[in-house]
Amino acid sequence: MADLFDNRYRYKNDLGVGGCGRVFLAEEEESKHLVAIKQLNNRDKKKQSAIIHEMQIIARFDHPNIVGYKHYFIQDELLYSLIFIF
Q: How confident is the model at residue 73 (pLDDT cuts 50, 70, 90)?
A: very high
> CATH no. for residue 19?
3.30.200.20
74: exposed, middle or buried (Cβ count in 10 Å: 0-12, 13-18, 19+): middle
Number of domains in the chain: 1
Residue 62 has a pLDDT of 87
Q: How confident is the model at residue 83 (pLDDT cuts 50, 70, 90)?
A: confident
pTM over 0.75: yes
Q: pLDDT by residue (tens digit) across 11-59? A: 999 999 999 999 999 999 999 999 999 999 999 999 999 999 999 998 8
- Residue 16 amino acid letter: G
Q: Are 11 and 28 in contact (CB under 8 A)?
A: no
Residues of the domain holding 77: 4-85
